[in-house]
Amino acid sequence: MKYTSVSLLEKGFYVASLAVALLLSPLTQAQTEQVTAQQFVDLQQGQAHFPGFRRAHAKGICVSGEFKSNGRLSQYSNATVFKAGTHPFIGRLSIAGNNPHAAELTAPVRSFALSFVTGAQRWNIAMNTPPVMAVTNPHDFYQQIVALKQGKEAVKDFFAGHPESADFLAWKASYTPSSSFALETYHSINAFYLVDEKAQRQAIRWKMLPLNEESKNPYTGKDALQQEFATRLEKGAVRFNWQFIFAKQEDDENNPAKLWPSNRAKVDAGEIFITHWQPQLSGNCHALNFDPLILPSGVKATEDPILRARSAAYAESYRRRAKEQLMGALEETAND
């Protein structure tokens, strides 16, 4: 699997061409049935259509700041981002769902995306609060979304037939969404490889651990998370520790539903500092597709089929909203 390098095109022309390539064939799938990116995105957007917005995680804010690398990962990867020093990023914080006007505090999943540009290369990162996926292949992932839309009984029946969801369900039972984007832990979900100068690779996952003061959210409206975040930033940067988890030989990096044991080696690569935010429609993150397969030299994709499903669905969602914006369908000027 080749890693992808991307020139600096802020408006996403590279991603538009990538979308065409990805959508010429169905998503990889371990079973005989196949699911296309178009089917995924059709299901995500549902009957309630919001032109010009992402089909999933439609509501969010743009953020920016810098990663202060301590250099500890540079022995495992030649990626520029891991060299000791300061590396700027553009990012996005969001909630699950296709509704850009949804209430934020009740959202069951929060997401954090980052985009680093170093020279002619870009690294896009898309993280969520769950540490693992519930299933192992795109077909089952699609059926999981179908069940979620059908209601509690369908969800119960789905998980009864999928014992591989045990780690996800254990996390779900213990997780309580916080009242702040700044207090969540965000996970890579899928595994990747770090690749060093000698082409030696190490399977890893990562998480962003919050380093921010606990406080009660004074806001209760539908924009409570972004309002709290804006108020918090007025007092100083929002910080996260970027921690990498190293797989052992017996860990399957291609299985996104299985947690690795807690005793795996961990390396803290440095700290993320978020210093600014913007409404998403006027912010510099809105034109970006945070495709997790846009990778720099020194970071490589595993063969995890869910990772490729995510990439193709992101590209299809981007293609649709870019076309809608081009045709003037997006008339929103506010962030809510």
User: Which residue positions form the known binding site for heme?
Assistant: 314
Q: On the CB side of 269, how many CA atoms lie within 13 Å of its CA? A: 26
Q: Is 57 a catalytic residue?
A: yes
Only one residue has tokens 């520029």, namely 80
DSSP state letters, 156-183: HHHHHT-GGGHHHHHHHHH----S-GGG
DSSP state letters, 185-247: -EE--S-EEEE-TT--EEEEEEEEEE-S--------STTHHHHHHHHHHTTS-EEEEEEEEEP
Instruction: Count Cβ atoms below 10 Å from residue 207 Cβ, excluding itself.
Output: 19
Q: How far apart (Å, rounded) are the C-alpha atoms in residues 74 and 170?
A: 34
Q: How far apart (Å, rounded) are the C-alpha atoms in residues 282 and 309?
A: 29
List residues bridging with 121 in a β-sheet.
Answer: 118
Q: How far apart (Å, rounded) are the C-alpha atoms in residues 17 and 181?
A: 33
From the candidates 57, 87, 139, 187, give the one annotated as an active-site residue.
57
Coil, strand, or helix at residue 61? strand
Rg of the chain over CA atoms, in angstroms? 19
Known binding-site residues equal 314
Catalytic residue list: 57
